[in-house]
Amino acid sequence: MDLFSLWSVALTVLGYVITLFLIPMVLLTKKRQPASTVAWIIAIIVLPIIGGALFVFFGINRIDRRTRRKEQAARHIDRSLPGLAQYHVIPGEALTPQERRLMRIADELGGTRPTLGNKIEVLADTNQTLGLIEQAIQSAENSLHLEYYIWQPDRTGTRLRDMLVEKARQGVTVRFLYDSIGSLFLSKRFLKPMRSAGIAVAPFLPGPTFRERWSLNLRSHRKIVVVDGQVGFTGGMNIGDEYIGRSRHYGFWRDTHLRMRGPAVLQLQQVFAEDWYYATGEELTQPELFPDPTETGNISAQVIADAPAGGTRAFHSLMFAAINEAQHQVTLATSYFVPPLALLTALETAAWRGVRVRLLLPGKSTYLWTQLAGRSYFDALLSAGVEIYEYQLGSLHSKTLTIDGCWSLIGTPNFDYRSLLLNFEVGVVSYGIRVARDLEEQFENDLNDAERIDPEVFARRPLKHVLGENICRLFAPVL
């Protein structure tokens, strides 16, 4: 037997050993999502070594070992601060039965209460959004808190970093929390000026141990800016040149972000404080970080944060409930569309009930396999009467949902397994027509730069496309 044959036999045996070892591990760790369990088992059997390596990096969720720490953070950073009670919405006859039901669900899932008196601006232009964030940073007098999934060390990221450095030198307390995988290119050299200026810098995950660094799941997908506890920003936009249309590869970047004033900003501050404690162990409970709002509006809203700990997934359940409550129309924009079965059924059922359901999805995606997996759902949705549009002007990165023109969700979660089951996400639920109307107007404008999927044309697509879609769909729960 030659050397090549020996290596072949050794690799085959190693593949079987890995398969026999990992399949029981998959069965023990994947309890809530049978589809995810099956997808990982198929990957390990078909590609024993490669599939096994992917499971080690992407499939093992080690959040259980940190759940106690996360719960401890929630206790230390009390979500029901006494100062917020005066702004809580009291469900009464002024609300419709639909709004009361959705409000109760959001209360239970999010651990927060809707607050009165918010001013919320929907931002559709990423250059305008960046300008407003820079303006808010420059106006800071006491504290600046920033948490991002992706912060690129390019021209845009460097400019914003230098602004933070300057504010720190002026005596403003600055804390910067970034995701270790999303912001992988933030080097020690890039961060050194921040630390030298006294900025507290911390990575979110993975943790410090070698075992924790194996896992590429459990990302902090949040985008948060809180200035002096008075002004807050959140939504889909990260920090980097591509997010303001400076990348030739991505082209025009379409995203949706929010600027908030009012008591809901304190809830956004609470989310950052919990994450900061979770990552660093430092408690942020100082009263000056949670001041009474100096500027308010007339919008009722609450901030919802979701994390892959415990048995409930807030955004998955909230989206499911909201779609099922729809009586007239649903508009959904998302940059990644790989829906869990329950949400797919909710969309189809709403359309069968006569609700006008419209989806706005990217015409081109960062990850081809994700887009192919998403298109495998189109046949059933189109048969139910769902209208599907693919954005053509550039990169679509918005994450918005409106129900009947009177309820809306804007934030960081996409309509896919990863956002809804594996990531740390944050969003803002708004009650009433103000925000929903702005989002629906933007949705209509975006349709001018989108192509509607024709059911008859789509049904005649080449078989190789169908094959590619269905293969990618097998791995949908792990994409």
pLDDT of residue 64: 47
**Other Cβ atoms within 10 Å of 119 Cβ, number:** 19
Reported as a pLDDT band with limits 50, 70 and 90, residue 46 is: low
In a domain, 188, yes or no: yes
Do residues 346 and 419 both lie within one domain? yes
Q: Which of 228, 255, 275, 446 is catalytic?
A: 228
Q: Are the C-beta atoms of 265 and 229 separated by less than 8 Å?
A: yes
**Per-residue pLDDT at 45 exceeds 80:** no
Q: Is residue 102 part of a domain?
A: no
- What is the rounded CA–CA span in Å between residue 311 and residue 68? 14
| From 8-22, 356-370, 425-439, the region with the lowest mean pLDDT | 8-22
Concerning whether 70 is annotated as a catalytic residue, the answer is no
Using 50, 70 and 90 to split pLDDT, how confident is the model at 210? Answer: very low
Q: What is the mean pLDDT of residues 357-369?
A: 88
d(CA 446, CA 358): 12
Residue 260 shares a structural domain with residue 329:
no
Region 225-247: what's the mean pLDDT? 96
Cα 70 to Cα 206, 221, 274: the distances in Å are 14, 16, 8
- Same domain (yes/no): 194, 72: yes
User: Hey, is 148 helix, strand or coil?
Assistant: strand
Can you read off the two tokens belonging to residue 9?
């036999």
Residue 112, pLDDT score = 87
Query: Do 28 and 70 belong to one domain?
Result: no
Considering the domain boundaries, does residue 220 fall inside one? yes
Burial 55-83 (b: 16+ CB within 10 A, else e): beebbbbbbeebeeebeebbebbebebee
Which whole-number Å values give the CA distances from 429 to 72, 120, 232, 304, 355, in the listed order? Answer: 25, 11, 14, 7, 21
Report pLDDT for 82: 60
Between vectors from CA 228 to CA 265 and to CA 88, what angle results, nearest 5°?
Answer: 25
Q: Residue 333 phi/psi, 5° resolution?
A: -120, 130
Instruction: Catalytic residue, from 404, 416, 438, 446: name it.
Output: 404
C-alpha to C-alpha distance for 388 and 362, rounded to whole angstroms: 11
pLDDT tier, 211 (very low <50, low <70, confident <90, very high otherwise): very low
Q: What is the model's pLDDT at position 366?
A: 73
- Catalytic pick among 399, 416, 438, 446: 399
- Mean pLDDT of all residues belonging to the chain: 85
At 432-467, the pLDDT tens digits run 899 999 999 999 999 999 999 999 999 999 998 888
- Alpha-carbon distance of 217 to 139, in angstroms, equals 36
462 and 337 in a common domain? yes
Residue 411, CA distances (Å) to 234, 257, 375 in order = 6, 7, 23
User: What range does the domain containing 9 cover?
Assistant: 3-60
Same domain flag for 350 and 410:
yes
Instruction: List 201's β-bridge partners, or say none.
Output: 176
Q: How far is CA 4 from CA 9, 46, 406, 413, in A?
A: 9, 22, 67, 48
Average pLDDT of span 227-235: 97
- DSSP conformational letter for 308: S
Give the confidence band of 312 by pLDDT, cuts at 50, 70, 90.
confident
* More reliable by pLDDT, 210 or 310: 310
pLDDT of residue 208: 47
Share of the chain above pLDDT 90, in %: 59
| CATH code of the domain containing 365 | 3.30.870.10
Q: What is the mean pLDDT of residues 118-137?
A: 97
Residue 76 annotated to the active site: no
Residue 28 in any domain: the answer is yes
Pair 343, 387 in one domain: yes
SS (H, E, C) 164-223: HHHHHHCCCEEEEEECCCCCCCCCHHHHHHHHHCCCEEEECCCCCCCCHHHCCCCCECCC
Whether 301 is covered by a domain: the verdict is no
Q: Is 179 a catalytic residue?
A: no
Least confident range from 17-26, 122-131, 163-172: namely: 17-26
Contact 168, 197 (CB under 8 A): yes
Check residue 100 and give its pLDDT.
Answer: 84
Pair 179, 216: CB distance under 8 Å: no
At 376, list the tokens: 């495998």
pTM of the model: 0.85
Judgement on whether residues 236 and 384 belong to the same structural domain of the protein: no
Is 221 marked active-site? yes
More confident residue, 271 or 112: 271
Of 70, 119, 223, 316, the catalytic one is 223
Query: Domain check: are 459 and 360 in the same one?
Result: yes
On whether both 391 and 463 belong to a single domain, the answer is: yes
399 is annotated as an active-site residue: yes
Is residue 300 included in any domain, yes or no? no
CA-to-CA distance for 242 and 249, rounded, in angstroms? 8
Residues written for the chain? 479
Query: Is the pLDDT score of 203 beyond 90?
Result: yes
Same domain, 320 and 455: yes
Q: Is 414 part of any domain?
A: yes
pLDDT higher for 331 or 103? 331
Which residue has better confidence, 88 or 148?
148
Count the domains in the chain. 3
- What's the mean pLDDT in 327-333? 97
pLDDT of residue 179 exceeding 90, the answer is yes
* Among 257, 316, 397, 416, the one annotated catalytic: 397
Asked, for residue 162, whether it belongs to a domain, the answer is yes
Task: Specify whether 284 is located in the same domain as 331.
Answer: no
| pLDDT at residue 396, as a whole number | 95
Residues 70, 119, 145, 221: which is the catalytic one? 221
Give 374-427 pLDDT, tens digit per residue. 999 999 999 999 999 999 999 999 999 999 999 999 999 999 988 888 889 999
pLDDT of residue 365: 75
